[in-house]
Structure 1
Amino acid sequence: MAAVTSSFSLSTLTQSSQRKLTLSSSPRFVNSDSDSFRFRLSFSSHCVGLRASNSVSKMVVRCSSSVSDPPTVSETKLNFLEAYKRPIPSIYNSVLQELIVQQHLMRYKRSYTYDPVFALGFVTVYDQLMEGYPSDEDRDAIFKAYIKALNEDPDQYRVDAQKLEEWARGQNSTSLIEFSSREGEVEGVLKDIAERAGGKGDFSYSRFFAVGLFRLLELANAMEPTILEKLCGALNINKRSVDRDLDVYRNLLSKLVQAKELLKEYIDREKKKREERAEPQQANEAITKCVGQEQFSDMITR
């Protein structure tokens, strides 16, 4: 299976002081036998139940809080572990475990509403976090198990994220922020977000949403400092929150890159040690084989 990785630019984020993101990250890595990394995202809780939006495209799915007793965090984590039973390397597992706890709290918040920009943000984050995972097939299976554990549809996440990416590639700085004056599937999604964020429906801002916005800007090559501000204004989103969250995401990726580098160094060292231990054994086997052949030859010539 081909690698599924996001082209979300860490260097772009690092160079953009205007885009700031806060997942209050706290590293916990690396020692000689276990490379791990932790970070925190502050979300909240409560919601479930679906109702279709009549005002916009099929991409928009609303989530309302009609269920009085949402699942507990432990139930969501158990769902994930039951859906994906294979061991996950610690550097990835520690991030996923903390992420699923925080996303559970956000997912069941009363005002939570799924939307494609949020999906794009999560897919971007996931693909960045899991970049370099040993198996592409397992990475996809983990993604599906993760989303299903939250009682959502992993295929919808991927499809909606892809639609927004394709749309954004065809936009520019002007068209991106003038979505409200045009008709189209993605334009309808953005209009719906603007209405809800403006107080005409449920809207729960999240850090995944902030990353989704920045991904749209990146794909549209609309990286001028003022464009993000204008897009936030058009969507009725607080730019200060977006700036803060993008800064934290940048820090998260930077620390994750460091952790992966240290993990690679550890793996390389262990591989070299195994090879060094194997050399004497291989030499002994070669000598034994050679001696055995000479003894066999002697037996034949006698």
Structure 2
Amino acid sequence: MNNNRTVSDTKKAFYNFHTRPINSIYNRVVEELLVEMHLISVNANYSYNPFYGLGVVTAYDRFMQGYSPEQDKISIFNALIQAQEEDPNKYRTDAKGLEDLARQLSASDMLSWICLSNNIDNTQYLQDYLRGISENSKFRYSRLFAIGLFTLLEIVDTEFIKEQEKRTEALKKVCQALNLLEEKLLKDIDLYLSNLERIAQARSAMEDTLEAAKKKREQRRLEKENISTTANNTSEDSE
């Protein structure tokens, strides 16, 4: 990986990989994610891990929900990763592996596993990543890594995001176990949830606008048909 890449280099690479226009409501999301990933990946202390991969996949899929056409959504994701000189298939594969693991566990087991106090068969290599992070004072923390951890807890407990006190308590335990900055992680997750709500509202507003425009076009079409029918009837009567 070339750590001397500039933001401009990464953007140029992205638009070389994905050449179609991006829908306006999603353009800012893509740009911000592209730059965020760039700044993470060019840092000297950056090292990919599956939890970061899950965070990227989750953030992208959540923020891009409803994007059309679907094929472009896939192309944009691939371009985001390729622009960082990484493999999009690895991100998807690692994310799915962690999601599948989470669906097999209870909320308490998942939290204990993340906090390195519970071992699960065939997951030692994943815990090795977490253990390495907890012991690495130079670990390159990122919001996307935090989203990956949060996603695991969210999968095992769908009410997790709704109960702030419960959510905060669990995330504090994670921070303590992995030696992460508690205030930073909690703030990042709150902002993430707030942004999800904001983009959902924007998407809803866009859908309402499109629906209103569709109804207006249909109304005009019916009016034209009525005018045409009236004109034809008048012509027939005059004959």
TM-score of the two chains, using structure 2 as the length reference: 0.83
Matched, 1:105 2:48: no
SS of match in other structure, 1:259: helix
Matched, 1:213 2:149: yes
Residue matched to 1:43: none
Once the two structures are overlaid, the 10-residue window that deviates more, 176-185 or 155-164, is: 176-185
Contact 1:194 1:234 in 2 (8 A): no
Say whether residues 1:191 and 2:134 are aligned partners.
no
Structure 1 unaligned regions, length at least 5: 1-47, 49-66
Residue in 1 aligned with 2:90?
156
Partner in structure 1 of residue 178 of structure 2: 235
- The residue identity in structure 1 corresponding to 2:211 is D
TM-score by length of 1: 0.67
The C-alpha deviation readout for 1:154-173, integer Å capped at 9, x for no partner, is: 11111100000111122234
Give 1:254's aligned residue: 197
1:80 and 2:14 matched:
yes
Any idea what the Cα deviations from partners look like across 1:83-115, whole Å, max 9, x if unmatched? 222222100112211221222111111111111
In angstroms, what is the RMSD of aligned CA positions? Answer: 2.6
Q: In 1, Cα distance between the equivalents of 2:129 and 2:66?
A: 36
Match of 2:79 in 1: 145
Aligned counterparts of 1:145 and 1:139: Cα–Cα separation in 2: 10
Q: Which runs of 5+ in 2 are unaligned?
A: 161-165
What is the 5 A alignment of 1:1-302?
48=1, 67=2, 70-179=4-113, 180=116, 182=119, 184-199=121-136, 203-221=139-157, 223=160, 224-225=166-167, 226-283=169-226
Q: Whole-Å Cα distance in 1 between the matches of residues 57 and 105 of structure 2?
A: 20
Higher relative contact order, chain-length normalized (CA < 8 Å, sep 6+):
1
CA distance in 2, matches of 1:272, 1:177: 49
Instruction: State the distance in 1 between where 2:111 and 2:124 align.
Output: 10
Paired residues, what number? Answer: 227
Q: Percent identity?
A: 35
Give how far 1:275 is off.
Answer: 1.9
Alpha-carbon distance in structure 2 between the residues aligned to 1:192 and 1:84: 32
Shift of 1:249: 0.5
Residue 237 and residue 277 in structure 1: after superposition, are their counterparts in 2 closer, same or farther (change >3 A)?
same
Could you tell me whether the CA contact under 8 Å between 2:111 and 2:153 is conserved in 1? no
Retained in 1: the 8 A contact 2:134–2:177? no
Greater share of helix residues, 1 or 2?
A: 2
Judge which range, 172-181 or 241-250, deviates more: 172-181
Q: 1:88 to 1:196 in 2, by over 3 A?
A: same
Instruction: Give per-residue Cα distances to partners, 1:67-94, cap 9 Å, x unaligned.
Output: 4x62221221122212222222100112
